[in-house]
Amino acid sequence: MKIRVSTSLRAQVEAAARENNRTLNSEIVSRLEASFRDDEGDARSAVAANTLLRSSLHGDPLKKLEERVEELEAKVANLMAGK
């Protein structure tokens, strides 16, 4: 793969490679892999944030389930009392 980069960017990558004790190729690969991991993490964070937002807009689902269980327990108690 051939890519064109500015002289200043090449100098930055070369300096980073020296600092990290890597070849120029290894430094580029490492940084590309990290950027894709960051993208995946950002996507997961966005999904989590969206889920939290939706649950807050529709109320607390756990609270709704607890309320429903209480309603059903009351109905069962009433049915049992009628026997």
Domain boundaries, the chain: 7-81
pLDDT tens profile 4-23: 999 999 999 999 999 999 99
Would you call 82 helix, strand, or coil by DSSP?
A: coil
Total-model pTM: 0.49
72 contact partners, CB below 8 Å, separation of at least 6: none
Phi/psi class of residue 23: alpha, beta or left (left: φ > 0; alpha: ψ in -120 to 50)?
A: beta
pLDDT tens profile 16-65: 999 999 999 999 999 999 888 877 777 777 777 777 777 665 666 677 78
**Whether the Cβ atoms of residue 50 and residue 57 lie closer than 8 Å to each other:** no
> For position 58, what pLDDT does the model report?
63
pLDDT tens profile 64-73: 788 889 999 9
Q: What are phi and psi of 53, to 5 degrees?
A: -65, -45
